[in-house]
Amino acid sequence: MKLKRALGVAVVAVLASGGAAQADYPERSIGMMIPFSAGGGTDVPGRFFAAEMEKILGTDIVVSNVTGAGGTIGATQLSKAKADGYSLGFMPVGTTTTQPHLRKTSYNAESWAPICLVAQGPLYVTVLEDSPIKTVDDLIAKAKSGKVVTGGPPPGSLPHIAQAAVANAYGVKFNYIPHEGINEVAKSMLGGRVDMAIWFGDAKARFGLRPLAILDVERSAEFPDVPTMTELGQPVESFVWFGFFAPAGTPEAIVTKLSDACDKAANSDGFQDNMKKAKRQVRYMPRDEFAAFFKSQYEKNGALLKEAGLVK
């Protein structure tokens, strides 16, 4: 009997929520989709962010990891979800701006209502700590005189595009060996099969890789002695970012409410501390700025992929 009554209450609650005004948002738990596996590069900042948003919005945020195919499976699911503010996504640059060009995804730049930018991570050109390659010039000299083997995630990934961009800038070519992920690349480097990898700042602490240059406009606080590619004369930029998205068509009032909450969450002490502990960078961008940024990244990455010959 008790169970029946509880079920009855639940049913009434669900029905009532459907007809309620948006002003009461949120009045039940919110789903947040992360298109990569738990404990991974996207999941870690995503879950930190969700924890803060829970406090601010005063409701549960249920994180689900829908993985596979560069995040496109989760993104496809989210793009088709009901745009009522209860299905949201925490997605990185690749899933949202390169994969739609690479694969025939059913979603594109118009499928999202960008809410805010939350985190970023610049890429570095890295080599083994005891590698004879000390500078980018050494690397290019090696590529010109023999061959440089580099490794990274499957073609079309950000590190893959970035290494092509660096090679193009200097008019050389690196031998790219695709790996399952950075863990495998690190193994290949330690085993002496791969010379160089383009990866994030955590490559130093995790695998003892030495950064030669940062692919960003300015030097990072983490490695103040590492020069930017611009300083070295070749302005190549590449960094991953993580944004908070709702499916397109989500009511204006709800997106506004979420972007206000995001402002507080991204700048909260809890989030900043957690990110620092995990050696990750916070980068907040409010809604309008992020929407414009997202659009430009979408087009720029599409052009880069075409240049690299990955998209016809």
Partner 1 sequence: MGVLDNLSLALSQIASWEVLLAIFIGTAYGTLVGALPGMGTVVALVVALPFTYSMGTPAAIALLLSIYCASVYGGSITAILINTPGTPQSAATVLDGYPMARSGKADLALGWATFASAFGGVFSLIVLIIAAPRLARLSVYFGPVETFALILFALTCIAWVSSGSMVKGLLAGAIGLFLASIGPDNMTGLSRFGFGIDALAGGLSLISVLIGLFALSEAFTRAAYYVQGKPPDVAGVGFRLPPWSDIRIRLRMLVQSSAIGTAIGILPGTGATAATFVSYAEAKRTSPRRENFGKGEPDGVVASEASNNAVTGGALVPTLALGIPGDGGTVVLLGALLIQGLVPGVQLFQNNPEIMIGAFIVILIANLLMVVFGAIGARGFRRVMGLPEPLLMGWVVLMSVVGAFAVRGNPIDVVVAVLAGLFGVVMRLAGVPVAPIVIGMALGKTLEQSLRQGLMLNDGSFLAFFGQPIAVGIFVITLVFVGAPIYTAYRKGRGA
Shortest CB 87 distance to partner 1, Å: 13
Contacts of 262 (CB under 8 A, 6+ apart): 53, 115, 116, 118, 244, 284
Distance CA 271, CA 254 (A): 22
CA atoms of 205 and 43, how far apart (whole Å): 19
Question: How many whole angstroms separate alpha carbon 124 and alpha carbon 187?
Answer: 18
Looking up tokens 């969700």 gives 50
Whichever of 188 and 268 has its CB closer to partner 1, that residue is: 188
The DSSP bridge pattern shows strands 61-65 and 87-92 to be: unpaired
Tell me how far, at minimum, the Cβ of 99 lies from partner 1, in Å: 10
Q: What's the CA gap between 10 and 250, in Å, rounded?
A: 25
Least CB distance to partner 1 at residue 98 (A): 10
Least Å from the CB of residue 276 to partner 1: 9
Q: Of the two residues 201 and 228, which places its CB atom closer to partner 1 in the complex?
A: 201
- Which residue ranges make up the site for partner 1 (CB under 8 A)? 37-40, 43-44, 47, 51, 63-70, 72-74, 76-77, 102-103, 105-106, 149, 153-157, 160, 175, 177-180, 183-184, 186-188, 190-193, 202, 205-208, 274, 277-279, 310
Closest distance of CB 192 from partner 1, Å: 8
**Distances, alpha carbon 176 to alpha carbons 7, 93, 162, 179, in Å:** 57, 21, 11, 9
Q: How far is the CB of 102 from partner 1 (least distance, A)?
A: 6
Measure the CA–CA gap between 149 and 194, rounded to whole angstroms: 5
